[in-house]
Amino acid sequence: MGIEKNKMADGLNCSRPVYINDYSLYCILGGDKAQILDALKNGRRGTFTTYDVAGVQRPAATIDPVSLAPVPEKKFDNRVNRLSQAALVSVEKTIQKAVEKYGANRVGIFIGSCDNGSEASMAALKCFKETGAFPDDYVLDYQRADFPAQFIAERFGITGMLSVHSTACASSASAFVSARNNLYAGNCDVAIVGGVDIASLSVILGFASLEAMSDKPTNPFSANRSGLTLGDAAVFFVVTKEQCAELCTEKCEGLKVVGFGESDDADHITAPRADGEGAYQAMKAALMDAALDASQIDYVNLHGTGTELNDAMESCAVNRLFGESNHANVPVSSTKALTGHTLGAAGALELAFCCLALQSGRESGTDKNNCGEKEYLLPAHLFDGVVDPELPPLHFVKPGETSKNLKYCMSNSFAFGGCNVSLIVENGLA
């Protein structure tokens, strides 16, 4: 570690940040950033829907379909794209400016998503079973992996590269890595990066068959945890490799993703490696990429699914990493108890929550040079408070808890197949 620190000090780490010019999000907590931040601060979950799965009631953080407007282009009109459409509203002006400034062929789209139109597939199969034929308007395009990205491209007239990642729960975090790499490779000048996923019936049935779903809202890191709860979300960022004054909204000034870490357990098709080694390596790689020490991280958004295995291995990995720097008391929380596990969108959603926290500093003074004392809101960790004595201790954020120091936030995404991604976002104005 001493050699690594020396390399950082000598400027040899070849830092490659991406700047956040604008971003939007839509989940069970709503689409308004102030409203979402208030819910995160107070540990107030959205209204979950209950589904009957083989006689067992399963909650899910699904958005009422009636609240989502139809997509005007009929060929793209499905629940995934309706959700994307709702999230894109608040960033559409920034995307249009990006297309005008750089050209439609220089804007790339990098999306994380896993569903691929399953609701249309299930409806078509039901029709086939009942009538012996598929519906006349059913097309396989709904199941193409690039369908969510194609919708965005056509909506804004984008002709640049498209990339859709389906690395399970790490999909949109993987999309961020891909966006960074392609920006620096010169394949695009600006990237629309994020994720969209829905808790469709097929996904709910799949997780229920794995015995990974809880019959009550998820209870992460509790001794009483009994599984995950699924949810809907769409999240989009507009990023560049340099700060762009023409695109950057005032509130996003100074926001940049500075650390990108990946690892792969290569251990089991669904279960994480029990000792948390892969998660540890992803977080460590993100720190190295950002030229930071663990002691500089001010908050960690945990993957925290509420399953027995995930929470156990992640608590071990986090405690190990931050304990090495005597920073084991770093504030942490899993926000999945508030939003449900939004699968392919989770990485981007939770990175957006970190951005909201970084932007939440409230000035107690009136100095235009930001010399007043700041207070930052932290996303609360909602659970029953019954700490699992078998897990290493972590500093879970209490509802209403604040911090006077918030410059670097880490967001973890640990997926099926041991696909691990850790991202670090910085508030350059802190």
From 303, 354, 355, 381, active-site residue: 303
Task: Could you list the beta-strand ranges (E) of 37-161.
Answer: 49-53, 56-61, 107-112
Q: How far apart are CA 300 and CA 305, in angstroms?
A: 14
Identify the active-site residue in 341, 354, 355, 381: 341
Alpha-carbon gap, residue 240 to 248, rounded angstroms: 10
Q: Tell me the two tokens of residue 177.
A: 């890595």
400: left (phi over 0), alpha (psi -120 to 50) or beta: left
Could you confirm whether 165 is annotated as catalytic? no
* Nearest C-alpha neighbor of 337 from the set 216, 218, 226: 218
Residue 371 falls in the annotated catalytic set: no
Is 303 one of the catalytic residues?
Answer: yes
Q: Is 245 helix (H, G, I), strand (E, B) or coil?
A: coil
Helix (H) or strand (E) holding 291: none
Q: With the C-alpha atoms ordered 115, 334, 413, 176, is the resulting torsion angle positive or negative?
A: positive
> How many H-runs (helices) and E-runs (strands) does the chain carry?
12, 16
Question: Which residue in 27, 114, 165, 169 is the catalytic one?
Answer: 169
Place of tokens 């020396």: 6
- Between CA 339 and CA 356 the distance in angstroms is 15
Q: Kindly list the catalytic residues.
A: 169, 303, 341
